[in-house]
Structures are given as C-alpha cells and as structure tokens.
C-alpha cells in the first residue's frame, strides 16, 4: 500500500508545474498523504515515504554532481519513481544511440565529447542546433545559421569547458512551423499527446528554468504513435516499464516522424489536455504500480 508519498520538486519550480494541481487532489482522493518536497532539502526523511515521485526537479542539469548521488541515496531509502537506472539513462541524450541502434528513427545527431574538436563544415549550408547532452527546458540550447559558426563554436567550447558533452543537430524546419508532439505513456501504454512549441533562442541563451512554451491538445497520428511505441519498446527492454514516460516526436525534413527526446526523468505530462482520464491513469500508476525495488 502506498500511504505516504513525496512529490519531488525544487524551490525555483514551485507553483510552475501544470500537472501538479490536477494530480495532488486526485492522490488525496485516493487516500494518499502527499508532501511536496525539494529534492535537495537535507531535512527530508526519505525513509518515511512509501514512494518518492520525481516531478519538477528542473535544476538537476546544472547540479549533476549532487543529483546523481542523491538518486542512489533516495532509492536506498524509498521507492523512487522512476528508478535511478531509468533516470540515469534518460538524462543523457546519448540514449539516442540506443534508439538508433534498434532502428527507431531519431533526429540526426553528432555527439561531441569534451576535448573533441567541433567541425561544423558539414552544416555550413543550413541552420543547426547546439545543445548539451544533459539538459532540460532548452537551457543551454540555441539555434544557429551558417553565419553563426564562430558563436556556435564558442557555445560548444563553453559547454566543453564545463565538462559537458554536446549534441549538434540539423535544425528540423518543421519544429519552427509545426512544433513538436509529446506522447505520454503511463505504465507503458500510450495515454495522450500534446502539441508544443518552444521559443528557443537564435544564437542566444535561455535565462529561466525553462524556455517559454506554447502548448495545445493534439490527437496523435498513427505514424507518431508507432514511433513512440518503438522508442518505448527499447526503453522497456533496457529498463523495464516506467511508471510515466514521454516521447517527443518531430517531423524530419523528409516528412517522416522521428524522436527528438525521450524524457523519463521528470517529464511534464500535459495532463490539462487529457483530464480526468489521464490523471486517473497516472494516479493508478503511482498508487498501484509495482515497486521498483
């Protein structure tokens, strides 16, 4: 029985998670006592909870050296959702290689580890994106044009100097015009989709915890769900079924559907577009789902 649950956030995210006001009352109705706690609060007694649910710890990419040991510490004291191995896999976009190796279509990606020289010449004709391998909320992500190679190289060098691996991708034109489509999976089953547009700076930087987003409901197309399902099959094969997951798909420049991101750390679940059914499904996953340890 899950009677006490820690809903894990961070100070700067309080009041900003759109899923939270829908889920907390539903958990209360299900008889669960929930505390909203900051992940880095040293006074939290994690062992006092039946489960800790990682929800809006949005500052972890900048505090990885604290966050990674925290995952293991909390998972030793209680049932952490999603479990540490799942979180670790998903917080580094190198997972795109696992998807690619399994034949799941991904956004074309070049990885640059610290110390590796960035060569942008193959991108010379078009727009491209530079982003950190460990990142969230579009922070430290920027788009560039062929005229920006020097600024982009400085961006790569800045991330490398902070010992952060970098992804360089061609800028997929449809992301600017049509946005991206988050597909939400609860207990491994497709639940609902949304449409999301993110204001990513051109040759600039996001200052807040996350870039501004414009979101809307979306009826997922079968081709999108097929790609989401394929990504989830890889996830499930490697890590077991996550309580919640989000696969963000985009349209590539040939009109096909590919994965931009798989978010298993603290995905926004776009519940306002799918309540009350998705809220009930999430509560079912959190209250009834199997323990991860």
Q: Which stretch binds ligand ADP (CB under 6 A): 5-13, 49-57, 97-105, 164-172?
A: 164-172
200 touches ligand ADP (CB under 6 A): yes
Which residue lies nearer to Mg ion by CB, 19 or 261? 261
The closest alpha carbon to 149, from 177, 119, 105, belongs to 119
Residue choice 26, 99, 194, 198 for contact with ligand ADP (CB under 6 A)? 198
Smallest distance, Å, CB 91 to Mg ion?
12
DSSP for residue 134: S
- What one-character-per-residue DSSP string does 172-238 give? -HHHHHT-BEEEEEETTEEEEEEEEEE-PPBSS---SSS--EEEEEE---HHHHHHHHHHHHHHHHH
Q: Does 169 bind ligand ADP (CB under 6 A)?
A: yes
Question: Which residue number, 46 or 210, has a Cβ lying nearer to Mg ion?
Answer: 210
Stretch that binds ligand ADP, among 44-52, 131-139, 157-165, 229-237 (CB under 6 A): 131-139
Q: In what order do the strands lie in the sheet with 257-263?
A: 213-218, 189-198, 181-186, 244-251, 257-263
62 is an interface residue for Mg ion by CB under 5 A: no
Strands 4-9 and 33-38: parallel
Length in residues, the chain: 293
The H-assigned helical ranges of 240-276 are none
SS3 assignment, position 35: strand
Residue 281 touches ligand ADP, criterion: CB under 6 A: no
Q: Cβ of residue 261: shortest distance to Mg ion, in angstroms?
A: 5
Distance CA(263)–CA(273), nearest Å, equals: 18
Nearer to ligand ADP, 26 or 257 (CB): 257
Q: Which is nearer to ligand ADP, 137 or 289 (CB)?
A: 137
Q: How far is the CB of 175 from Mg ion (least distance, A)?
A: 10
Give, as ranges, the residues between 60 and 119 that touch ligand ADP (CB under 6 A). Answer: 107
Nearer to ligand ADP, 195 or 292 (CB): 195
Tell which positions 239-278 bind ligand ADP, by CB under 6 A. Answer: 248, 260-261
Asked if residue 131 binds ligand ADP (CB under 6 A), the reply is: yes
- Closer Cβ to ligand ADP, 84 or 135, answer by number: 135
Residue 266 near Mg ion by CB under 5 A: no
Q: Is 135 in the site for ligand ADP (CB under 6 A)?
A: yes
> According to the 3-state scheme, what is the secondary structure of 87-122?
HHHHHCCCHHHHHHHCCCCECCCEEECCCCCCCCHH
Among 292, 291, 285, 293, smallest CA distance to 30 is for 285
CB 118 within 8 A of CB 112: yes
Closest C-alpha among 70, 6, 82 to residue 42 = 70
Interface residue with Mg ion among 19, 38, 59, 261 (CB under 5 A) is 261
52 binds, options Mg ion, ligand ADP, none, Cβ within 5 to 8 A by partner type? none
Nearer to ligand ADP, 217 or 290 (CB): 217
3-state secondary structure of 244: strand
For residue 60, give the nearest of 136, 113, 155 by alpha carbon. 136
**Residues engaged in binding Mg ion (CB under 5 A):** 261
Which residues of the shown chain bind ligand ADP in the complex (CB under 6 A)? 107, 129, 131, 135-138, 141, 169, 171-172, 175, 180, 198, 200, 248, 260-261
């Amino acid at each position: 029985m899950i009677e006490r649950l820690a809903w894990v956030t961070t100070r700067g995210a309080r009041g900003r998670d759109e899923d939270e006001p829908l889920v907390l009352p539903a958990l209360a109705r299900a008889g669960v006592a929930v505390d909203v706690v900051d992940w880095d609060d040293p006074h939290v007694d994690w062992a006092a909870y039946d489960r800790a649910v990682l929800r809006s710890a949005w500052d972890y990419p900048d505090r990885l050296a604290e966050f990674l040991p925290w995952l293991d510490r909390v998972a030793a004291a209680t049932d952490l959702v999603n479990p540490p191995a799942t979180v670790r896999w998903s917080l580094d976009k190198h997972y795109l290689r696992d998807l690619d190796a399994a034949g799941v279509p991904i956004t074309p990606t070049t990885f640059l580890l610290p110390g590796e020289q960035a060569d942008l010449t193959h991108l010379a004709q078009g727009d491209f994106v530079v982003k950190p391998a460990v990142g969230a909320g579009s922070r430290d992500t920027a788009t560039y044009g062929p005229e920006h190679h020097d600024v982009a190289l400085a961006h790569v060098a800045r991330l490398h100097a902070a010992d952060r691996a970098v992804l360089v991708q061609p800028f997929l034109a449809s992301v600017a015009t049509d946005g991206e489509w988050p597909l939400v999976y609860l207990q491994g089953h497709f639940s609902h989709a949304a449409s999301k547009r993110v204001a990513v700076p051109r040759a600039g930087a996001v200052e807040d915890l996350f870039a501004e987003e414009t979101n809307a409901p979306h009826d997922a197309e079968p081709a999108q769900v097929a790609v989401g399902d394929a990504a989830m099959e890889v996830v499930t094969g490697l890590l077991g079924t996550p309580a919640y997951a989000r696969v963000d798909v985009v349209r590539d420049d040939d009109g096909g559907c590919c994965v931009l991101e798989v978010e298993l750390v603290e995905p926004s679940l776009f519940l306002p577009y799918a309540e009350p059914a998705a809220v009930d499904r999430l509560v079912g996953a959190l209250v009834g789902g199997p323990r991860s340890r």
